[in-house]
Amino acid sequence: MVIDVILDNFPMLMEMIGLILLISISTYIPIRMRRMTRAAVLLLLVESICYNLELWTQSFEKLSILRPILTSCVYSLYPIILYFILRIVLDENMSKKKIFLLLLPEIVSVPLYFSSQWTHIVFWFSQGNHYAPGPLGRLPYAVFFFYSLMFLYQNYVFFRSFNGKDQMTAAYIILMPMLGVLLLQLFRDGGDYGALLTSAILLYFAFIYINMAKIDPLTGLLNRKSCFDDQQQRSKSISAVVSVDLNDLKALNDSRGHSAGDEALKTVADVLRKYCGQGGTVYRVGGDQFVILYSRVEESWVASAVDIMRQELGQTPYSCSFGYAMVSPGRRIDDALVAADHAMYADKETLKLRQGGAAHSPE
């Protein structure tokens, strides 16, 4: 039997082992993401073992207590696997309260599964080893559906700053396995989703790995290479560029250390990302330099967005210099970036003169 199970599940086992090996040699992926992916893969392995053992207990003429226990394990494992995959793209600083609320459907459901053989509330098995649904027989599917929706939403949030091609690829990788689960449910009355989820996680991890190379690890913004690629791919839609420079970063590093400088960069990045407005994509292109590319927006919109970002930065201990240029028909994006840089440096000089005048003004 063991050999038959291994042969039947060999592609899935091969993918699981391969994914664990990939996780161990990954460099771009943050440690937290690797841990979450590894946990999801190991739980998939446990789920596969439980499913095949439960399949074996179905052949018994009389009910074994193993069958309801194994069924409960399978029902419990699918949502928690999705939870760990979901945590890959969730904020690592997520509060304990939010984590508890996210886990609440699973926390409520698991005791119901494991007590169902006696309460008959979700499912139960007759002494003749026949399965029977209870009043909450659809609960495992409802919980799985909840975590699937959460997974879809959080990935939408995570990937919305990426370019259109990346978003389409992510949509395919995420939606196709869910379509497969739906088809299995509709036409085969369920079944083991382990092989499908294993392939999905493998593709998902590979996609995350590729895209992590495009992200600045400190700020979470897209990096210089991404900015260059997007200028090429979005050349027809880019209508404005904004150059941003964090003021006095060197002085901050020298006086308070590089950790204080890192905190300043992360704060500025969060403000730019949050308040750049619709149509804007923010990149960190150098130590203290940022670029925002806007698609299909008017100059008034860009000017207003710059004013809002200035105001929001005014609520922090940091300041930035801004310059922008429109990409008019016939004007190269590189030329617009040069013009935006000139405007940014002019803004920096104006700020220095203003600060110098304030320092020498009589009390």
Q: What whole-number percentage of the chain has pLDDT above 90?
A: 45
Alpha helices in the chain (DSSP H): 2-8, 10-25, 31-57, 66-87, 96-119, 139-159, 164-187, 194-212, 224-233, 249-256, 258-275, 299-313, 333-360
Q: How many domains does the chain have?
A: 2
CATH number, domain of 330, equals 3.30.70.270
Q: Do 194 and 312 have their domain in common? A: no
**Where in the sequence is the domain holding 280, given as residue range(s)?**
224-360
- What average pLDDT score do residues 78-106 get? 87
In a shared domain, residues 29 and 170: yes
Pair (196, 235) in one structural domain: no
pLDDT tens, residue by residue, 194-220: 777 888 888 888 888 887 888 888 888
Looking at 163, 191, 212, which one is the last position of a domain? 212
What one-character DSSP code corresponds to residue 90?
S
In a domain, 308, yes or no: yes
In a domain, 243, yes or no: yes
Q: What is the pLDDT of residue 138?
A: 92
| Res 108: pLDDT | 96
Domain with 114 in it: what CATH number? Answer: 1.20.1070
In a domain, 342, yes or no: yes
* Same-domain check for residues 304 and 187: no
Q: Give the tens place of pLDDT for each residue, 268-278.
A: 999 999 999 88
**Same domain membership, residue 179 and residue 236:** no
Residue 116 and residue 43 share a domain: yes
Residues 151 and 82 in one domain: yes
Q: Do 173 and 229 share a domain, yes or no?
A: no
- What pLDDT, on the 0 to 100 scale, is given for residue 205? 84
Query: Tell me: the pLDDT tens digits for 279-307?
Result: 899 999 988 999 999 998 999 999 999 99
Whether residues 182 and 266 share a domain: the answer is no
Q: Which of 178, 212, 246 is the last residue of a domain?
A: 212
The answer to whether residues 161 and 203 belong to one domain is yes
Residue 96 lies in a domain: yes
Residue 218 located in a structural domain: no
Among residues 163, 192, 212, the one where a domain terminates is 212
Q: What is the pLDDT of residue 362?
A: 43
User: Which residue stretches of 188-324 are H helix?
Assistant: 194-212, 224-233, 249-256, 258-275, 299-313
**Phi/psi at 293 (5° precision):** -100, 130
Residues 110 and 207 in one domain: yes
Q: Are 119 and 256 members of one domain?
A: no
